[in-house]
A = this chain, B = another copy of it.
Amino acid sequence: MMKYTENYGSAPLSRDTVAAIMWAGPVMLSPAAQVNEAIERVRQAGLPQPGMNSCYVVAEDGVLLGALSLRDLLLNGGGIQVGTIMTRPFVTVQPEDDQELAAQLMDEFDLLELPVVDSGNRLQGVVTADDAMSVLTEEATEDMEVMNAITPSERPYLETPAVRLFLSRIPWLLLLMLSAAFTGGIIAHFEDALAAQAALTAFIPMLMDTGGNCGSQSSVTVIRGLSLGQIRFGDWLKVVWKELRIGFLCALTLAAVNLFRLQLCGTPLDVAAVVSLALGVTVMIAKLIGCTLPVAAKKLGFDPAVMASPFITTLVDGVSLLAYFRLAVRLLEM
């Protein structure tokens, strides 16, 4: 039996525990019980919940030994001991684990029921697939909200008052607005350069947007991978190396297309070159920031989903404008 409590996606923002969704009172059998007795026990005791289709085999001290579905009971002869036909559960969770962990394990291993045990492996309850589905849906919604600068809420949109929705959005907007002021500060710092080359201003939106988009692509990929347990902290070097290569290909393509377009539009070659170079640098930086911050957040115990589009965009904006103006000042000899 394995216990999964580490290395799996468990977002600190969603500390809803397994205890809150597990069903207590599963039918427990001793390994020596015969199938006929087991069926009789199920008939007498019922099963605590429609979603439950298994009985559990436990030792005298309550330690979980295995599971039997009603299917197993029906398909086997009446005199067989349940201990000989039970399935040994290869994954279990504990009541204080995150619900998301339980749901992910059930998804990954195609389980309809997941036994919950205490630290001594004694059976405490069972999580059923119908509840796991709700958890998966809620957690995905929560991640999407956090990734778009919204404090998650479990209430459906149409039933939530406008003021509540406002309150779940405004703190993030304020924080990000004030952060963007720093980016503005960078522009103000290069005001003289901009005054000398007013045309440079027109490329700011393209640089900012492309940087933001490149960064969000990387961050959402890594955030989702972390959340599904497909990426672990130990993979960070592999992730960075992969994003560097993707970033290089993107930078090359975007810079080339941009240079070509600017030449078509009659932009002077030196300006076009500076803009394209700045674009390439921005793309590389954006991919790097986009893939490292979620992994770092995870390691530090924050919800990686916070490190998505809005946050990454704000950060990348500043870095890319800085690169842009520095390159312009240096290469255009302003």
Choose one: B137, B198, B242, B253; the contact of A165 (CB below 8 Å).
B242
Question: Size band of the A side of the interface?
Answer: 35 or more
Question: Complex formed: what's the CA distance from A222 to B293 in Å?
Answer: 27
A116 on interface, CB distance cutoff 8 Å: no
Contacting pair B166 A246 (CB below 8 A):
yes
Contacting pair B71 A53 (CB below 8 A):
yes
Question: In angstroms, how far is the closest chain B Cβ from the Cβ of A238?
Answer: 6
A269 on interface, CB distance cutoff 8 Å: no
Question: Complex formed: what's the CA distance from A198 to B75 in Å?
Answer: 81
A1 on interface, CB distance cutoff 8 Å: no
Shortest Cβ distance from A40 into B: residue: B74
Which residues of A202-219 have CB atoms within 8 Å of chain B's CB atoms?
Answer: 202-206, 208-210, 212-214, 216-217, 219
Residues from chain B with a CB closer than 8 A to the CB of A119 are: none
Shortest Cβ distance from A283 into B: residue: B173
A313 on interface, CB distance cutoff 8 Å: yes
Question: Complex formed: what's the CA distance from A188 to B271 in Å?
Answer: 14
Question: In angstroms, how far is the closest chain B Cβ from the Cβ of A37?
Answer: 13
Q: Assess A133 versus B107: contact at CB under 8 Å? Given A74-B39, A242-B165.
A: yes
Contacting pair B309 A216 (CB below 8 A):
yes
A327 on interface, CB distance cutoff 8 Å: no
A307 on interface, CB distance cutoff 8 Å: no
Q: Assess A133 versus B144: contact at CB under 8 Å? Given A199-B191, A201-B201.
A: no
A25 on interface, CB distance cutoff 8 Å: no
In this complex, the member of A111, A141, A144 whose beta carbon has the largest number of chain B beta carbons within 10 angstroms is: A144
A94 on interface, CB distance cutoff 8 Å: no
A147 on interface, CB distance cutoff 8 Å: yes
Question: In angstroms, how far is the closest chain B Cβ from the Cβ of A334?
Answer: 14
A194 on interface, CB distance cutoff 8 Å: yes
Chain A 54-93 interface mask (CB, 8 Å, partner B; 1/0) = 0000000000000001110111000000000000000000
Question: Complex formed: what's the CA distance from A166 to B287 in Å?
Answer: 11
Contacting pair A42 B74 (CB below 8 A):
yes
Residues from chain B with a CB closer than 8 A to the CB of A220 are: 144-145, 147-148, 150
Question: Complex formed: what's the CA distance from A170 to B248 in Å?
Answer: 11
Shortest Cβ distance from A314 into B: residue: B209
Chain A 280-316 interface mask (CB, 8 Å, partner B; 1/0) = 0000000000000000000000000000011001100
Known A47-B71, A157-B225, A209-B310; further 12 A-B contacts with Cβ < 8 A: A53-B53, A73-B74, A110-B131, A110-B133, A110-B134, A148-B216, A158-B230, A174-B253, A177-B257, A180-B206, A194-B201, A212-B313
A-B contact pairs, 19 of them (CB 8 A): A43-B74, A50-B69, A74-B74, A107-B134, A129-B129, A143-B144, A150-B220, A157-B231, A158-B225, A165-B242, A165-B246, A169-B217, A173-B217, A177-B254, A180-B206, A184-B204, A187-B201, A204-B205, A212-B212
